[in-house]
Amino acid sequence: MAETEAPRPRQRPIVRLGIFLISHSFSFSVVCCTAGVLALLLLPILAKNTYISENALMPGSANPMLSNQDVLEANRFVKDLIALNSKPRGSGIESQRLIAQYMKDLGAEVNYHKFHPQITQFHPLQFFSSPDSGTVERNISCSFHGVNTVGITRAPRGDGKEAIVLVTPYNSQKIKQAEALSLGTAYSVFSLLSRVTWLAKDIIWLVSDSQHGEYAAVSAWLRDYHIPMFTRLHTVNAETCPDINYLYDVRDNSVTGRKIYDGFKRAGTMAAALVIKVVDRSETFDDNLNIYAEASNGQMPNLDLINIVNYLAVHRQGFRVKVEKLWSLLDSKWLKNLGELFESVGQVVSSINPQWKFGIPAADYTEGIATLASSLYNQALGVPTGPHGAFRDYQVDAITLELSPRASVDKIIRQNDFLLRGGRLIEGVILSVNNLLEKFHQSFFLYLLTSPGKFVSVGVYMIAFALLVAPLPMVAASLYADAINLNSSQNNEKTVADEPGTALRSLKWVNAAKKVFVVHLWGSVVSLLPYFICQIPNRSPTVSFIIWFLLSVLSFFIMFLILASPFSHAKESQLHLREWAILKSVTMSATFIGLCLMSVINFSTAELGGLLLVPMCLMAQPMRRDIRVGSLSTLSRLAYNLVFCLIGFPPVTFVLLKGAFEGFNSINVGDFWCWVESLWAWSSATYLYIGMVHLPCWVLCIHILFHHC
């Protein structure tokens, strides 16, 4: 018949492309992985210069108004603060009183905020949700509280709906010179802002009590700011704690006679927050400004905020702006060579066509890579790099400005100059944010910094990740197709088109999937174990780690015996050929899904995890086969597999990285436990990633490696 004779319709191009890629999966995966790593290394060259995206900001358009008079006032404040150190009694309370007094003299609204720092504990059910205020334990001893001092200047003609927050952490027990200077800087700005007419947003100055950690104080204040609590906690405290009683006693005797409100004062929603810190690092060349931006889970503040700070600091106040870098990378030989290579390539390119801008000087390249690595590392860790991280949990853009003066700040002239410039910088930033009409939204939220003035946006860095993980589904498909074809041809030789054969074939796929699922289930059990281990009293990190390890191994065997083994053993007798290939393809698919999901939550974790997992997954092959063949290539592949599987084990990875950056002397088994503990304390998604993607994938690769075929 004509219909049967008609040629088969041509397949659509996308299907043909897919088939082509799957059939050439080996070369495809080699090219893609290389390109992925290369793209990552090229990021500093592809980085763009930052620019102010929001029209309303207009940084530096107005002359700073901060005068020497304000600086002199601030100096007096600093001196008074330091003088408190020599006083014998209760300097904590005294310093808060002093700060409140100074704030009140400026006409600001002042109140104290008492808080108990939250005890970090692993709550599996509240992993991503911030702990609500109801969980604050009531019967904490009085010595374990902190008192923040909050001053609010209302915008004279503003609508009171928005606010800008200045945060100066200081240790109320012992005030250091640098901390006093940071308070002085904020005070000079605050005193200016209490006089100006152009404020459209209220200014909140939070002097946070950092004796229990900088982050805890700020996050406690933010929690109370956003979640009103209707309890009588402070009165209970007032009855039991003599210190706080003292605080409220003395407020009535103040010179101005105005009472300090003992409730919680609020202003509008926060437009931005600046954490100001001064460190006495005695820089040799210039006054330095370090910008810290990473918040929990690799969230970043809007790039515009960093841009205005960078612009004002560099072009107006003459600070040398830095962002964190991995210093150890700066000296590495291979990076320098790579940078020189890229530089020469860039020269060749520009000689061909001067329009093409490619390549940067080798020194810039190494700096860019070091900054990028630090940016990636901090984001991947998911732990905020400073108190600004607390603001990000409430969707407020915040950064920490760490100012470090050139020489020692003992000399009074140097100190005045430093205060003036620091104050003018912060004034300029506040003026810009004050001009803002909405939240920061114009510029990027997803970016990596390669220098204070250069960034890589999400559209560029995703390419590197996409190239890296693209081979996973391709190789998985090709492995599966090969295994099926092999089986069917085998079956055809034995019995022609038997029904049970196809049924079993599909069952085998289900079987492999079940195995992978069980391992992933085990991964989540492992992630939950620390909750129980935490209940054990009096444990050292090392003991905890060993308990965790043993429990994990135990649970692994239990689960495997109960859930996985009966099926696998039953089927192995019949269809064992290339069973590992099917298992490998399912593992790869699961890893691919896990990595892609993680890249949405925290790109940096996914990128670093991909660098470890993808080569391991792609190369995993049963060891016995390699040994049986015994050629040079198979043996080298075997060695490669073993090395990667060793590196891929999370504790080993941790130890190697820590050793590379800090030296191997100080390494302790318990360190890994401490690290993991910090991860869940900050509810970092990296913890979940390690437990539920990385570890199962590693176990499955080991399983494939030791597979009997």
Query: Which residues contact other proteins (rule: CB under 8 A)?
Result: 55-56, 58, 61-63, 155-159, 196-200, 431, 434-435, 437
Strands, sheet with 454-457, edge to edge from the N-terminal-most edge strand: 48-49, 454-457, 447-451
**CB atoms < 10 A from the CB of 616, how many?**
22
Rounded CA separation 386/214 (Å): 8
Q: How far is the CB of 442 from other proteins (least distance, A)?
A: 12
Nearer to other proteins, 197 or 489 (CB): 197
Q: How far is the CB of 303 from other proteins (least distance, A)?
A: 19
Q: How far is the CB of 62 from other proteins (least distance, A)?
A: 3
User: How many CA within 13 A on the CB side of residue 181?
Assistant: 25
Q: How far is the CB of 109 from other proteins (least distance, A)?
A: 18
Instruction: Record the tokens describing residue 57, joined without a space.
Output: 């900001």
Nearest to 589 by CA among 512, 505, 653: 512
Nearer to other proteins, 400 or 434 (CB): 434
Nearer to other proteins, 108 or 381 (CB): 108
Q: How far is the CB of 60 from other proteins (least distance, A)?
A: 9
Q: How far is the CB of 201 from other proteins (least distance, A)?
A: 8
> Is beta strand 202-209 parallel, antiparallel or unpaired with respect to 320-323?
unpaired
Q: How far is the CB of 163 from other proteins (least distance, A)?
A: 13
Contacts of 442 (CB under 8 A, 6+ apart): 53, 54, 302, 304
Nearest to 466 by CA among 596, 579, 585, 368: 596
Q: How far is the CB of 156 from other proteins (least distance, A)?
A: 8
Q: How far is the CB of 57 from other proteins (least distance, A)?
A: 8
Nearer to other proteins, 434 or 589 (CB): 434
**What is the torsional sign of CA 304, 305, 306, 308?**
positive
Q: How far is the CB of 395 from other proteins (least distance, A)?
A: 23
- Please name the amino acid found at residue 314: V
Nearer to other proteins, 436 or 468 (CB): 436
Rounded CA separation 113/100 (Å): 12
Instruction: Record the tokens describing residue 462, joined without a space.
Output: 């995703």
Residue with tokens 């909405």: 438
Q: How far is the CB of 198 from other proteins (least distance, A)?
A: 5
Nearer to other proteins, 162 or 677 (CB): 162
Nearer to other proteins, 311 or 480 (CB): 311
Nearer to other proteins, 430 or 697 (CB): 430
Q: How far is the CB of 224 from other proteins (least distance, A)?
A: 27
Rounded CA separation 519/591 (Å): 12
Nearer to other proteins, 54 or 287 (CB): 54
Rounded CA separation 542/539 (Å): 8
**What is the torsional sign of CA 245, 247, 250, 252?**
negative
Nearer to other proteins, 157 or 494 (CB): 157
Nearer to other proteins, 155 or 426 (CB): 155
Strands, sheet with 109-115, edge to edge from the N-terminal-most edge strand: 109-115, 146-153, 202-209, 162-170, 269-278, 397-404, 288-292, 320-323
Nearest to 303 by CA among 461, 460, 448: 448
Q: How far is the CB of 434 from other proteins (least distance, A)?
A: 6
Q: How far is the CB of 464 from other proteins (least distance, A)?
A: 36
Backbone torsions φ then ψ of 380, nearest 5 degrees: -65, -35
**CB atoms < 10 A from the CB of 500, how many?**
11
Nearer to other proteins, 202 or 626 (CB): 202
Instruction: Record the tokens describing residue 546, joined without a space.
Output: 């060993």
Nearer to other proteins, 109 or 162 (CB): 162
Q: How far is the CB of 123 from other proteins (least distance, A)?
A: 43
Rounded CA separation 513/113 (Å): 54
Nearer to other proteins, 159 or 239 (CB): 159
Nearer to other proteins, 51 or 261 (CB): 51
Angle at 541 between CA 537 and CA 547, to 5 degrees: 75
Rounded CA separation 484/582 (Å): 9
* H or E element at residue 149: strand 146-153
Beta bridge partners of 403: 278, 289
Q: How far is the CB of 266 from other proteins (least distance, A)?
A: 19
Rounded CA separation 707/375 (Å): 39
Q: Exposed/middle/buried for 101, CB within 10 Å: 0-12, 13-18, 19+?
A: middle
Nearer to other proteins, 51 or 532 (CB): 51
Rounded CA separation 573/560 (Å): 18
What single string gives the DSSP state of each residue in 184-250? HHHHHHHHHHTT-S---SEEEEEEEEGGG-HHHHHHHHHHHHHS---S-HHHHHHHH-HHHHHHHHH
